């Protein structure tokens, strides 16, 4: 595989230049800003998630400037790490599971995504966004299962699903609307994702604080 070949996957990019996607590149600052805001509001695992959130912004910036496969890897790997760390935190803190049980259930995300992503790939028009679709589905499942145990946390997760679906719509419409919106809509994927990921840290933080207050 040629790790330095040019990648042109977004409406805004019209050439191989570093700043060929200025809006897509600059809007990655939203991830770093969300990480900084939440760093002051959270602790423990929440701060680990903040660090990963900032790394997501940096990786995505690299991909939308260098636009090469190695940068694409720097883009997607922090996202996967964030998802896995959050699932671990949800298993441990939302369900009260032990470390090893939480880790074992977290590991199941890999086969879960391997099975569901191809199914979402069959949805017409979803394209590359299909690889992200298992995430809102899983969050929705957690929200439903937690609705009686911790209704406030379940509502927070449901809000996260709604924001993520909106961001996925923006990502999906980038190419189809390219002739209508030359700038594309991918930058909204960045902004909405930054809000969503920051919000998910807030959901975890509120849950842990509430649990401590209740003596759980």
The rounded distance, in Å, linking the Cα atoms of 64 and 214 is: 45
Q: Dump strand ranges (E) for the chain.
A: none
What whole-number percentage of the chain has pLDDT above 90? 93
How large is the average pLDDT for residues 152-172?
98
pLDDT greater than 90 at residue 2: no
pLDDT value for 4:
86
What whole-number percentage of the chain has pLDDT above 70? 99
* C-alpha closest to that of 160 among 195, 130, 126: 195
pLDDT for 122-142, tens place per residue? 999 999 999 999 999 999 999
The rounded distance, in Å, linking the Cα atoms of 43 and 28 is: 23
pLDDT for 90-116, tens place per residue? 999 999 999 999 999 999 999 999 999
Whether 60 and 190 have beta carbons less than 8 Å apart is answered as yes
pLDDT for 191-206, tens place per residue? 999 999 999 999 999 9
Q: pLDDT band for position 117 (50/70/90)?
A: very high
pLDDT greater than 70 at residue 74: yes
pLDDT value for 103:
98
pLDDT greater than 90 at residue 118: yes
pLDDT greater than 80 at residue 45: yes
pLDDT value for 10:
95
pLDDT value for 213:
82
Averaged pLDDT score across all residues of the chain:
96
pLDDT value for 216:
59
pLDDT greater than 80 at residue 8: yes
DSSP label of 95: S
For residue 138 the two structure tokens come to 């899983």
pLDDT greater than 90 at residue 1: no
Q: pLDDT band for position 67 (50/70/90)?
A: very high
The rounded distance, in Å, linking the Cα atoms of 174 and 185 is: 5
pLDDT value for 215:
60
The rounded distance, in Å, linking the Cα atoms of 215 and 212 is: 5
How large is the average pLDDT for residues 41-59?
98
Residue partners of 28: CB distance under 8 A and separation at least 6? 57, 58, 60, 61, 64, 190
The rounded distance, in Å, linking the Cα atoms of 113 and 124 is: 19
Concatenate the DSSP letters of all residues of 168-190 into one string. HHHHHTTTTTTTT-TT-SHHHHH
Cα distances from 158 to residues 9, 136, 174, 194, in angstroms, run 30, 9, 25, 16
The rounded distance, in Å, linking the Cα atoms of 156 and 99 is: 24
């Amino acid at each position: 595989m040629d790790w330095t070949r040019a990648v042109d996957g977004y409406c805004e990019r019209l050439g191989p230049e570093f700043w060929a996607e200025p809006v897509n590149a600059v809007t990655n600052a939203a991830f770093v800003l969300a990480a900084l805001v939440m760093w002051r509001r959270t602790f423990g695992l929440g701060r680990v998630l903040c660090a990963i959130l900032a790394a997501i912004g940096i990786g995505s910036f690299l991909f939308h400037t260098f636009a090469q496969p190695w940068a694409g890897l720097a883009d997607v790997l922090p996202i996967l790490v964030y998802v896995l760390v959050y699932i671990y935190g949800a298993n441990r803190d939302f369900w009260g599971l032990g470390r090893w049980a939480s880790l074992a259930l977290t590991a199941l995300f890999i086969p879960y995504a391997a099975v569901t992503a191809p199914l979402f790939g069959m949805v017409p028009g979803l394209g590359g966004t299909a690889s992200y679709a298992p995430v809102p589905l899983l969050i929705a499942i957690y929200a439903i299962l937690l609705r009686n145990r911790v209704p406030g946390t379940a509502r927070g997760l449901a809000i996260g699903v709604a924001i993520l679906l909106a961001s996925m719509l923006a990502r999906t419409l980038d190419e189809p609307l390219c002739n209508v919106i030359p700038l594309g809509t991918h930058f909204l994927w960045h902004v909405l994702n930054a809000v969503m990921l920051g919000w998910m840290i807030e959901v975890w933080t509120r849950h842990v604080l509430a649990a401590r207050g209740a003596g759980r």
